[in-house]
Amino acid sequence: MLPRLAILAGGGTLPAQLAEAARADGRAVFVVGFEGHSDRATLAPFPHLWTRLGAAGAILDWLRSHQVTELVFAGPIRRPSLGEIMPDWRAAQFLLKIGVRALGDDGLLRAIARGLEDEGFRVIAIQDVIATLLAPQGAVGNCHPDADADRDIARGVAILRQLGALDIGQAVVVQQGMVLGLEAIEGTDALIARCGELRRPGPGGVLVKTRKPQQDKRLDLPTIGPATVERAAAAGLRGIAVEAGATLMLDRAEVRRLADHHGLFVVGIASASGTEGTP
């Protein structure tokens, strides 16, 4: 019998997609949804707990009451302030232990995963549930980057290596060698919109997304989907380059269709991190 799985759900439809895939594999699956972050409608068909981020005690008790042994993080969660978390006693002890204010997003997620493993759970990756979500190597669709776009991609990769090592974001937009924008706390969608307003004349920019060099491949991988392609096209970008095997690509068939429809390339590039990260 497969281990019982709980999905710690952020926003979007990915948590439900994972839950459906786990069910299809014969797993017992449960979902933890977070107020202000998760989508209630996507959680409704599955056994779930609806709670706030800081209710660590209630979450751990609920997971144990359902004999859950494996956990997976899925979907974006906006990083809250300490006041928004409203930690209970167990969460407060944990936050005090890890020094949350000193950690970037990747460091915080790693610390949370370690804390959950110290509680006896095994944290697994999204791709352990649905392996086909990882971006493939090469072009997805009929459009391919030209030599100028390849140079923009290479520049973007070099920039992300440096930013990633500082735990600052996973995306950059480069146009004709110029950096139009870097991703920080605002996320990729806002980055694309902002860069659309900064676009220069000539061939459009390229969105480049890679995982951070030190990033745990179980946690917060770069993600694109059909909405990313639509936003990139609306912003006048000419293409999207992501790290093959280390980026989640949601609904690949629709990504391919939209890329061809807009005449925009989507390409999986070789590993940019220089490390495989933590398993």
- Model-level pTM? 0.85
Residue 275 lies in a domain: no
253: domain CATH number is 3.40.140.80
Top-confidence residue, 228 or 277: 228
Domain C-terminal end among 102, 129, 156: 129
The mean per-residue pLDDT over the stretch 20-49 comes to: 92
Domain count, the chain: 2
Q: Tell whether the model's pLDDT for residue 105 goes beyond 70.
A: no
Residue 279 lies in a domain: no
The mean per-residue pLDDT over the stretch 55-79 comes to: 90
67: domain CATH number is 3.40.50.20
Residue 278 lies in a domain: no
Q: What is the pLDDT of residue 184?
A: 84
Same domain, yes or no, for 43 and 80?
A: yes
Q: Tell whether the model's pLDDT for residue 53 goes beyond 80.
A: yes
Same domain, yes or no, for 107 and 146?
A: no
Q: Tell whether the model's pLDDT for residue 103 goes beyond 90.
A: no
Same domain, yes or no, for 123 and 13?
A: yes
Same domain, yes or no, for 186 and 203?
A: yes
Q: For the segment 84-100, what is each residue's pLDDT rounded down to a tens digit?
A: 667 777 777 777 766 65
Domain C-terminal end among 66, 96, 129: 129
Q: For the segment 157-216, what is each residue's pLDDT rounded down to a tens digit?
A: 999 999 888 878 899 999 999 999 999 888 899 999 999 999 999 999 999 999 988 888
pLDDT band at 276; cut points 50, 70, 90: very low
Same domain, yes or no, for 42 and 97?
A: yes
Domain C-terminal end among 113, 129, 145: 129
Same domain, yes or no, for 238 and 154?
A: yes
Same domain, yes or no, for 40 and 94?
A: yes
Residue 105 lies in a domain: yes
Residue 277 lies in a domain: no
Report the percent of the chain where pLDDT is more than 90: 65
Same domain, yes or no, for 202 and 176?
A: yes
In three state form, how does the secondary structure of the chain look? CCCCEEEEECCCCHHHHHHHHHHHCCCCEEEEEECCCCCHHHHCCCCEEEECCCCHHHHHHHHHHCCCCEEEEECCCCCCCHHHHCCCHHHHHHHHHHCHHHCCHHHHHHHHHHHHHHCCCEEECHHHHCHHHECCCEECCCCCCCHHHHHHHHHHHHHHHHHHHCCCCCEEEEECCEEEEECCCCCHHHHHHHHHHCCCCCCCCEEEECCCCCCCCCCCCCEECHHHHHHHHHCCCCEEEEECCCCEECCHHHHHHHHHHHCCEEEEECCCCCCCCCC
Strands 265-269 vs 138-139: parallel, antiparallel or unpaired: antiparallel
Same domain, yes or no, for 138 and 73?
A: no
Same domain, yes or no, for 43 and 140?
A: no
Same domain, yes or no, for 227 and 251?
A: yes
Give the range of the structural domain holding residue 78, as residue numbers without chain letter. Answer: 5-129
User: Taking the CB of residue 189, how many other CB atoms lie within 10 A of it?
Assistant: 13
